[in-house]
Amino acid sequence: MASTTGTEATPSRISLSQDHLGILHDVKVNTASIEIANSLLQKNHEEWHMFFRDRAGHNHISHSILTCLALGGSPEDIQRAYDDGLEIQRPMPPLDDALVARLGDDNVMYESLGSISQYRSFLAYFQHHMEEHGWKATVTKYLFSHTKLSEKMLARMYEGAYHPVIHLGLGFEFQQPAIVAEALAQAAAHDDSNLYTYFIACEEESEIAYPLQQAKTLLQIMADASSSKTIRNAPHWEDYGNKMRDGVLGRACRETANVASKFVIRKTPESLRRRTAEMIDTCAYVAASSQRSGRKRKIDFFYMHMVTSSLFFSVIGEQDWIPLNDRIRMVEWKARLDVAWYVVCGCADIQQLALTAYNDPVTDGMGWEELYAAVVKEHDDGHVSKMIRALKNGQEAARPFENGPYRNAFPLHGDMWLKAARMTLGTTTGCDEDTKFVMFTGFDIPWETRPDLQ
């Protein structure tokens, strides 16, 4: 994993290579951009906490820089990506050397999970483990060894609206052990909304279910969740930021698991590829088409995360050093969590016409190249650029299936991908961070309190 400067990427050193600059390979990345990205990613790695606040405060700097780079950003664009995320960051927490020395004991690690103040200690431990055993062996031990600890760690990868698994996917995609170490430390330190219980409940429900003659599509499963009064009414507006933990999982965990468990992938590489593409397609369709009649178009903040994280399951699917069954399990968990997030946001009405009829004066006529060039200039924390890149990946992933025998599982097809990308830029350009997206779009209150969307 040597970079353009010949320096090896290590668990503590960022060193990007021309050989690993993103899954799409659809733009030229210049050497100067790589060099400044290396410098700024290293600075972020050494100086800034993974959490700018303890609750729902993820450091997006590496996401923004790597996405900007993969979209062909100039050195100035890379610097902008860093600067836009800088003001809110806080310094690394203190290193607890005594804890680091004990984290090799799985019981100590297990009992320490959820300690955000120990992020730096987790990071130091995972870096040390990688230096001794290699980064792939470390990932295998802590995510795929099927121990009590690794099961909890794998579930925690999906916490915080998918942020740790996004981070992990970036580490895989750009072949950066230091980013992978950050992802493992982020998952270990993250607060817990009880996703582990939900994922295990889904697997238990799947094991006892009578096999369906024909597998349900992910979109059908989401519709089934919406049609259940118990599930649909589980999240309350008054749950605020805890609609997943206290709402869906607190009031209807088993019921939601029963419905979501119907997303099952046969144990073949072909099925993994197709159903990963279906998951990506469905998430993009739901995010772009969940709109409010009579209001300006605005994408939901959490549905957006369903899309931005989806790209990394294409990346994970290509990691043949991970056992096939574990890669399949990760995609099953992703799709089942997508069902829960669909419910968290109020089971929004899905209106295809809201997407197919979309136009705006900013993005009309833009192709992918023009969208890339525009979005890397946007003042943003990486969400908009990540979504556009994920949509392009979705177009490529879904293309082999959208006109074949499984076409009903792929509601987004043809030029709808480009329309969705135009909507992503057109509805966010020029907006401040608080108005780029709408939160919990299926509820009335977000729309009633947004005069800008009248």
Q: Residue 6: its pLDDT value, please?
A: 61
Q: Tens digits of per-residue pLDDT, 258-298?
A: 999 999 999 999 999 999 999 999 999 999 999 999 999 99
Task: Return the higher-pLDDT residue of 3 and 449.
Answer: 449
pLDDT surpassing 80 at residue 210:
no
Provide the percentage of residues in the chain whose pLDDT is more than 70. Answer: 98
In this predicted structure, the answer to whether residue 214 has a pLDDT above a threshold of 90 is no
- Domain positions in the chain: 1-192, 196-453
Q: Pull the structure tokens for residue 9.
A: 């990427």
Contacts of 83 (CB under 8 A, 6+ apart): none
* pLDDT tens, residue by residue, 44-80: 999 999 999 998 899 999 999 999 999 999 999 999 9
Q: Which residues of 308-327 are buried (b: 16+ CB within 10 A; e: fewer)?
A: bbbbbbbbbbebeebeeebb
Q: Please report the pLDDT score of residue 2 as a whole number.
A: 45
Question: Which of 247, 253, 164, 254 minimizes the C-alpha distance to 208?
Answer: 254
Contact 156, 113 (CB under 8 A): yes
pLDDT, residue 4, reads 53
- Per-residue pLDDT, 212: 72
3: pLDDT confidence band, cut at 50, 70 and 90?
Answer: low
156, 192 in Cβ contact below 8 A? yes
Calculate the average pLDDT of the chain. 97
- pLDDT tens per residue, range 370-389: 999 999 999 999 999 999 99
Tell me: the pLDDT tens digits for 236-250?
A: 999 999 999 999 999
Instruction: Report the alpha-carbon distance of residue 56 to residue 160 in Å, rounded.
Output: 7
Torsion from C-alpha of 315, 345, 354, 410, nearest 10 degrees: 40
pTM score: 0.97
Q: What is the DSSP string of 221-289?
A: HHHHHHH-HHHHTSS-GGGGGGIIIIIIHHHHHHHHHHHHTT----SSHHHHHHHHHHHHHHHHHHHHH
pLDDT at 211: 76
Q: Is 50 left (phi over 0), alpha (psi -120 to 50) or beta?
A: alpha
Asked if 389 and 67 count as a contact pair (C-beta separation under 8 A), the reply is: yes
Work out the average pLDDT over 299-328.
99
pLDDT band at 1 (very low <50, low <70, confident <90, very high): very low
Please report the pLDDT score of residue 209 as a whole number.
84
* 253-265: pLDDT as tens digits: 999 999 999 999 9
DSSP 3-state of 307: helix
* Separation CA 307–CA 211 (nearest Å): 29
Please give the average per-residue pLDDT across 315-322, as a whole number.
Answer: 99
- Pick the closest to residue 256 from 209, 302, 222 (CA basis): 222
- The model's confidence at residue 151, banded by pLDDT at 50, 70 and 90, is very high
Alpha carbon distance 261, 187 (integer Å)? 24
Q: What is the DSSP letter of 241?
A: G
pLDDT tens figures, 185-206: 999 999 999 999 999 999 999 9
